[in-house]
Structure 1
Amino acid sequence: MWGLDLTIVHRPFTLVGVNPALDAFAEAAAELRANAERDAVTAGRTLAASRTA
Structure 2
Amino acid sequence: MDIWGADLTVIEREFTLVGVNPALDEFAELAAMMKKEAEEAAASAGKDLATR
Q: State if a TM-score over 0.5 links the two structures.
A: yes
- For the aligned residue pairs, the C-alpha RMSD in angstroms reads 1.2
Identity among equivalent positions (%) equals 58
Deviation readout 1:1-53 (Å, 9 max, x if unpaired): 76321100001000000000100000000000000000000000001111xxx
Give the equivalent residue in structure 2 for 1:10.
Answer: 12
* Mapping for residues 4-43 of structure 1, pairs under 5 Å: 4-43=6-45
Q: Quick check: which one's strand share is greater?
A: 2
Question: Number of aligned pairs?
Answer: 50
Structure 1: segments with no counterpart, 5+ residues: none
CA gap of 1:2–1:47, structure 2 versus 1, over 3 A, is: farther
